[in-house]
A and B are shown apart, each in its own frame.
Chain A
Amino acid sequence: MRREIPMIVAFVAGVIIILEFFVPALRSVAAQIQKWYLVVIAFAILVGAFNLLRINYMKIRRRRADWPYSIPLIAGLFAMAIIGIGWGIEEGTVFDWLFNYLIFPMSSTVFALLAFFVASAAYRAFRARTVDATLLLVAAVVVMLGQVPIGSAWVPPWWPDWLVFLTPDWLKDRIMDIFNTAGQRAILIGASLGVVSTSLRILLGIERSYLGEE
């Protein structure tokens, strides 16, 4: 019973959402249960936060490697959560200031690391070892050239129209329009079939490992 009733809950929730697409009358019911999900998330995050705090507290108490770093973690978590809940999260609040000068710079710097990783990954992976790798490499280089003004800077103004297919600009657009659309579309269609059958397996309780042991 510890698995059966939750399975029924999953089934009912999923089926209502699917039916709502076809049955206008169910619209408000579906909207309601979608809101319930938001409440579940809100409660669940406490579980996560507790887990994070417990692991770092244990680290400090047992003086495990790198334990001093857990102190800013715990302090930061409490500070943000208490200030945010207690004094609001709107613009101009302390919470907002902390976001702008702590979270935002770190977040965008981690994001910006990608500029370096794109280069190192390209350097390593784009070598003409196989047909596949060569196609990957050629398409990437052509599109990269077509992306920036400098890529077509060598094309003189008198360049004949019938040779336009040799310019990175033109090639990039064709590759994006044709090859990229074809590849992405096949992935989208294939994945949607996978999603549909996975959804079915879950709703019908055929795939139930997410519920844990009996």
Chain B
Amino acid sequence: MKSVRLGAFVIMSVAAAAFGQTLQAAEDVAAQDTPLDAGGSITVTWQASPDEAGGKAQVIAYEVWRATRAAGDYKRLGEVEPGKGSYEFTDEKAENGVEYFYKVRARGEKMSTDAAPAGPVKATAEWFYPDRLNMLVASVLLAAFVLYYISQARAGKELFIRRIAGLEAVQEAVGRATEMGKPVLYVPGIADIDDIQTIAAVTILGRVATMIAEYDAALLVPCSRSLVMSTAQEVVKEAYLEAGRPDAYRRENIRYLTDDQFGYVAGVDGIMLREKPAANFYLGTFYAESLILAETGHSIGAIQIAGTAMPSQLPFFIAACDYTLIGEELFAASAYLSREPRLLGSLIGQDLGKVIILIFIIAGVVTAFLAQFGFELFGRSIALEQLFVVK
């Protein structure tokens, strides 16, 4: 198909030349390595042929041709429709390190004209997004804060963490279940293990499971993802071992139901109605199922502790559960329950991050206010917001 069209075009071009008409070429043709990519791509840009806007001859299309020598045999890569004024074409099939030349051909009805070739140009992979410097600074700073306080904690520095009511209640809930001789139900959310909230939930499960093993209550963990189930089994086994009760570990109590959101909810509701747990934990990523679980849990009289960073589901847990860990508190829970210095240290690092953010917010608000009166700093208008644009 392509070769047929090409053949037809050669004939037309010859015919037009014979009639002595002219078609002006595209202007300002330039080729450069496509910025910020993994290589393998060159961007060709040009301006419209002067004939395009009401000239003698009409431009039907701009064709982009490529060769490895300026005078070499050009191969057609593709074409772009006219009508825009300035054009861009991305050659995605360039090999890294090879020098290329690009020609833009303005194709008219009866003839075509080539612009002078642009090049040589090489495709390369870039090693840094300059626009993302702010993200890099933020990442490095936060990481540094967290690591600094972890090392402080390791060195034996006393670290204070405020009371988190929801976590104080964990022991009470487990104790109650033990007294009543009923199981504890732990729902680690419905996301898979690549979700950090699930990972947080599973690490908290480890701390809770140690407590449960010590109290000798039963623990039920229905999972909606195989990977979560597998991880939960490892974590709970380890917890029972740590508590010196490896015999009490029941692998079959940490079970998979289904990946399906509502199928899973139906299953967990069934477990609640029949096993009648005295304490329910809902920690991790939750979507609509939050309230179905929490209301069913309430109807069987269980004490309920929830925690999620999903802003849309927090209201339901707040309304239907006894205690709710809000957002960041979920991520603090594992550190809080274990009291392990290294984990506590990372919490303090987070707090320092928060202080910096608050300082930025206040400084930004002040400068936004001043900017209205045309205040300038270092000869530039002071707009802190520019620092937070990530491309």
A residues at B contact (CB < 8 Å): 18, 21-28, 37, 40-41, 44-49, 51-52, 54-55, 58, 65-66, 103, 106-108, 110-111, 113-114, 117-118, 120-122, 124-126, 136, 183-184, 186-191, 193-202, 204, 206-207, 209-213
| Cross-chain contact A194 with B331 (CB below 8 angstroms) | yes
Residues of B259-301 contacting chain A, CB below 8 A? 259-263, 265-266, 274, 288, 291-292, 294-295, 298
| Cross-chain contact A197 with B346 (CB below 8 angstroms) | yes
**A71 to B363 alpha-carbon distance, docked (Å):** 65
Q: Which 4 A-B pairs have the closest CB atoms?
A: A194-B331, A212-B234, A48-B226, A48-B256
- Return chain B residues, CB-CB under 8 Å to A209: 202-203, 206, 235, 238-239
Selected interface stretch from B20-28, B51-59, B120-128: B120-128
**A120 to B239 alpha-carbon distance, docked (Å):** 37
Does B215 sit within 8 A of A, measured CB to CB?
no
Which of A22, A25, A199 touches B136 (beta carbons < 8 Å)? A22
Within the complex, the shortest CB–CB distance from A108 to chain B, in Å, comes to 8
| Cross-chain contact B132 with A190 (CB below 8 angstroms) | no
Additional pairs, 12, CB under 8 Å, beyond known A187-B311, A194-B200: A23-B128, A23-B129, A24-B125, A25-B38, A48-B226, A55-B252, A117-B320, A120-B295, A125-B319, A196-B146, A198-B346, A209-B206
Which of A40, A66, A108, A125 touches B227 (beta carbons < 8 Å)? A40
Interface centre among A22, A46, A194 (most CB of B within 10 A): A194
Which of B139, B238, B354 touches A212 (beta carbons < 8 Å)? B238
Which of A24, A44, A121, A200 touches B319 (beta carbons < 8 Å)? A121
Which of A65, A189, A197 touches B357 (beta carbons < 8 Å)? A189
- Return chain A residues, CB-CB under 8 Å to B347: 197
Does B67 sit within 8 A of A, measured CB to CB?
no
**A54 to B11 alpha-carbon distance, docked (Å):** 74
Selected interface stretch from B81-89, B155-163, B322-330: B322-330
Selected interface stretch from B69-77, B165-173, B191-199, B372-380: B191-199
Chosen A-B contacts, 19 in total, with CB atoms closer than 8 Å, are A21-B132, A22-B129, A23-B126, A24-B128, A25-B39, A44-B230, A48-B229, A49-B256, A52-B256, A117-B291, A118-B291, A121-B291, A125-B320, A126-B319, A189-B354, A193-B142, A198-B331, A201-B343, A212-B237
B residues at A contact (CB < 8 Å): 36-39, 125-129, 132, 135-136, 139, 142-143, 146-147, 150, 192-194, 196, 199-200, 202-203, 206, 223, 225-227, 229-231, 233-235, 237-239, 241, 252, 255-263, 265-266, 274, 288, 291-292, 294-295, 298, 309, 311, 314-316, 318-320, 326-328, 330-332, 334, 342-343, 346-347, 349-350, 353-354, 357
| Cross-chain contact B255 with A200 (CB below 8 angstroms) | no
| Cross-chain contact A106 with B128 (CB below 8 angstroms) | no
| Cross-chain contact B327 with A206 (CB below 8 angstroms) | no
**A65 to B349 alpha-carbon distance, docked (Å):** 51
CB closest chain-B residue, reference A207? B203
- Return chain B residues, CB-CB under 8 Å to A18: 139
**A64 to B343 alpha-carbon distance, docked (Å):** 43
| Cross-chain contact A111 with B320 (CB below 8 angstroms) | no
Which of B193, B225, B260, B331 touches A191 (beta carbons < 8 Å)? B331
| Cross-chain contact A196 with B260 (CB below 8 angstroms) | no
| Cross-chain contact A41 with B227 (CB below 8 angstroms) | yes
Within the complex, the shortest CB–CB distance from A37 to chain B, in Å, comes to 6
CB closest chain-B residue, reference A34? B194
